[in-house]
Structure 1
Amino acid sequence: MSKSPAARFLMPLSEYNRIYQVAHGTIGDVGDAHRACMFFNAFGAYVLSKHYKIPARVVAGAFGLCVSDRPDVAFFGHHTDGRLSSSSDGFHMWVQTETHVLDFMAPIFPEVFGSLLPDRQLPRKMLQKLIAAEAAGASSLAATGDFVTFPDLNLTNQLVDNFFNRPANGDLIMVAEAWFGSRRTKQKRSFAMQNDLGEVYELALPATVATGAW
């Protein structure tokens, strides 16, 4: 018996936004896109695996997304002579399931790429793409929403090890999960977090949300 085709999205926009907002609210203002992509998507993969029962993992490498029909293309990694590559100082991290590529950092692409595409006002959108829809290569990114990935297994393992070798990162994942709560309950707009010194911080969901999909 043949398998049914995968749905376009794993979750509706409202649920995607919930994961994005909790991750963003937990780490606060994002100054380093590399740090952001690791946390957003480590948390996203964790929620998908635990709360949605969808096996998910983080993958690092180079990533390209067409953001307009001109076309304008936004790249993570090193873009040289039409080729994409990645390294520890030039990479992206995303979530991968059996059928989909997701990026829970996508709603802050307007901030991440603002200085690189100053004449473009990027929309705030979610990114959930069928793996089967991936472009053949960087030169094939021609229409808005086209994407391509260049996974690097060794880099992924190195970055994941480095990320979780810092206890603070694991602690933040647990804080974010506690704030996320249950899928069946209404999301709390704020959450109190206590640091090692006993100081209490009030976390708040960001006002920004994705309003469509790439």
Structure 2
Amino acid sequence: MVKFLLPLSEYNRIYQVTHGVLQGVPDATAEKACLFFAAVGGYVLNQRYNIGARIVGGAFCFCLGEGGGEVATFGKLEDGQLVSGLDAFHMWLQTDTHIIDFMAPIYREAFADHPRSANLPRKMMQRRLDEEASDLDALVHTGDFRFYPDPALTDELLDGFLAKPFNGDLIKIAMAWYGKRRARQVPTFAMQDEKGRVARLSLAASVATGSW
């Protein structure tokens, strides 16, 4: 099984375009927009790469430091179990072989409530499924991960997201800005709202400099 489906430069391109669109949306908070990152990433992988990728939602755990006990989570504890809900979840992409999260370069901001997050390096999250930790106790090395998909929650969140025409418009903008896979990425793009106001989008300045 190959280690990565995408080279770092192409992963960063998808991340930067997606984040760049969000930066042009008033009141949007990129580190809370996991569904948008997954949606745009999924469209690019399926339409530009012919890589079958599906959006998955649920609880997600990620180890921030060595030795265990430094685990950040998207989810909530109920009766000693990590679960997800409408108020506590994460969204990512899965292929037949990999889990991919295009929001990973801003985990530092997403996990801001965790004391170890401030120095978290910016890296891509593109891991083979067989690298997943066996359970929560196995999350002991930086970058170890475990996920708990919730199909019903995934469907509910996706249905709500796609029911809003604005979200569909943003995805179209991201895809138009991304352009063709092998074309040079345009660094800026114009986005016009329903009142005719034009916002100039720029690629996100932050990039992943390695991989987990």
Q: Is the TM-score greater than 0.5? A: yes
Which amino acid counterpart does residue 50 of structure 1 have in structure 2? Q
Please say if residues 83 and 138 of structure 1, whose CA atoms lie closer than 8 Å, have aligned partners that are also in contact.
no
Specify which of 7, 19, 35 is matched with residue 24 of structure 1: 19
Q: Which runs of 5+ in 1 are unaligned?
A: 1-5
Specify which of 28, 34, 51 is matched with residue 48 of structure 2: 51
The share of aligned pairs that are identical, in percent, is 51
Q: Which residue of 2 aligns with 1:62?
A: 59
Whole-Å separation in 1 of the counterparts to 2:43 and 2:87: 24
Whole-Å separation in 2 of the counterparts to 1:136 and 1:103: 19
Q: Which runs of 5+ in 2 are unaligned?
A: none
- Do structure 1's residue 127 and structure 2's residue 125 form an aligned pair? yes
1:115-151: CA deviation from partner (whole Å, max 9, x where unpaired): 3225751010100010111111122111111110100
Which amino acid counterpart does residue 46 of structure 2 have in structure 1? S
Whole-Å separation in 2 of the counterparts to 1:52 and 1:119: 33
Please say if residues 82 and 139 of structure 1, whose CA atoms lie closer than 8 Å, have aligned partners that are also in contact.
no
Please say if residues 65 and 141 of structure 2, whose CA atoms lie closer than 8 Å, have aligned partners that are also in contact.
yes
Query: How many pairs align?
Result: 208
Which amino acid counterpart does residue 15 of structure 2 have in structure 1? Y
* Displacement of 1:170: 0.6
Q: Which residue of 1 aligns with 2:176?
A: 178
Specify which of 137, 153, 156 is matched with residue 154 of structure 2: 156
Cα gap change, 1:119/1:86 in structure 2, threshold over 3 Å: closer, same or farther?
Answer: closer
Whole-Å separation in 1 of the counterparts to 2:42 and 2:87: 22
Q: Which residue of 2 aligns with 1:112?
A: 110
Whole-Å separation in 1 of the counterparts to 2:140 and 2:118: 16
* Displacement of 1:81: 6.5
- Do structure 1's residue 187 and structure 2's residue 170 form an aligned pair? no
Please say if residues 64 and 117 of structure 2, whose CA atoms lie closer than 8 Å, have aligned partners that are also in contact.
no
| Partner SS state of residue 46, structure 2 | helix
* Displacement of 1:169: 0.3
| Partner SS state of residue 64, structure 2 | strand
